[in-house]
Amino acid sequence: MKVRFIDYLDSLKNTSYDKTNNAYMVNNIHQVINFDQFQEAYFSQYKKPVTCSIDALKQHNREWFFIEFKNGKIDNKTKKNISEKVGHSLFSFLDVLNEKIDYCRKKVNFIFVYNKENNSQSGHRLSCDDYQLSIERQKLKSLLLGVKKYIPLFQMGRYEDVYFKNVYTYDQEQFEKFVNENFDD
């Protein structure tokens, strides 16, 4: 059995569902590949238990966008889990396309969508790690000449140029705006 992406079409809304809190992170109906379901089918063809995977995959204008939704607080455990999801997802993705990792550096992007309310830093003293990747530091860095204008939060930038062409971190509102401006289904 050969698994195909097209067999796992779904909406962004459904792929953003948080079972723990019984809530959707976005209400957008743009069509994507439900990568969790794809990953289950991919591993079942080898009669193996499924590994963790990124939530959604979208192809647009000859590029791919992996999309991961996190409704809870982003802590070190969550970051480690995302790292595992990236690795497992890329292996199956590249296997189906019969490509190498260099393909991802040229054609694949990663979008991390987080709950702004659950990750607000206002009124709290920032830890060293939080400060390094905080919105406040991002604003300061954007004023410096020659510095990249957008710096992904939560240490997600470490995947850029290694696994992905671009990495973005958006809260739900920013993500909805990105989708509406960039994905024309």
* Helix then strand then coil, % of the chain, to nearest 5: 40, 20, 35
Per-residue pLDDT at 94: 97
Query: What pLDDT does residue 24 have?
Result: 96
The token pair that represents 145 in the structure block: 């000449």
Provide the pLDDT for residue 143: 57
Q: Residue 42 has what pLDDT?
A: 95
Predicted model pTM: 0.85
What is residue 124's predicted lDDT score, i.e. its pLDDT? 45
CA distances to 77, 87, 109, 111 from 62, in Å: 33, 22, 11, 16
Q: Whole domain around residue 77: which residue ranges?
A: 5-182
Q: How far apart are CA 182 and CA 104, in angstroms?
A: 19
Say how many domains are in the chain.
1
Q: What is the pLDDT of residue 125?
A: 43
Q: What's the pLDDT score for residue 126?
A: 43
Q: Which uninterrupted H or E stretch holds 79? A: helix 76-97
Residues ≥6 apart with Cβ < 8 Å to 3: 38, 41, 42, 45, 96
Positions in the chain short of pLDDT 50: 123-132
Q: CA neighbours within 13 Å on the CB side: how many for 136?
A: 13
